[in-house]
Amino acid sequence: MTRTIQPNGWTIHDDGNVQRHDVPSPYDQPSGQWRITGAVTRNNFGYITRRYSLAEVLADPAAIPWKSGNGKQRTFLTDYDHGTNREWRNPGHFVR
């Protein structure tokens, strides 16, 4: 099963590897160096209130509260990129 990261249109594979479609071949293939690890939900004060595993994100992304009632990003993707754990804090990303 694969899912799509919106609004980029990138693909998340079962193992979390990210495939970009906006770059030329052969760079459009997953490298194994960059993968989604899950997601975190933060409250109004910035504290993590819930962690989602990759399996949870892939199984039912519609059940994850990506945005709060006012439309502000609430849940953020997490990834592992070339040895560094990161959190996507830019607004607008969600999985479909």
Position 59 scores a pLDDT of 96
Range 73-77, long-range pairs (CB < 8 A, 24+ positions): 74/41, 74/42, 75/39, 75/40, 75/41, 75/42, 75/50, 76/39, 76/40, 76/41, 76/42, 77/5, 77/36, 77/38, 77/39
Residue 90 binned pLDDT confidence (cut-offs 50, 70, 90): confident
Q: Which pLDDT tens digit goes with each residue over 19-36?
A: 999 999 999 999 999 999
pLDDT score, position 28: 92
pLDDT in tens, 25-81: 999 999 999 999 999 999 999 999 999 999 999 999 999 999 999 999 999 999 999
pTM above 0.95, yes or no: no
Number of domains in the chain: 1
Question: Could you tell me the residue range of the domain that residue 72 belongs to?
Answer: 3-95
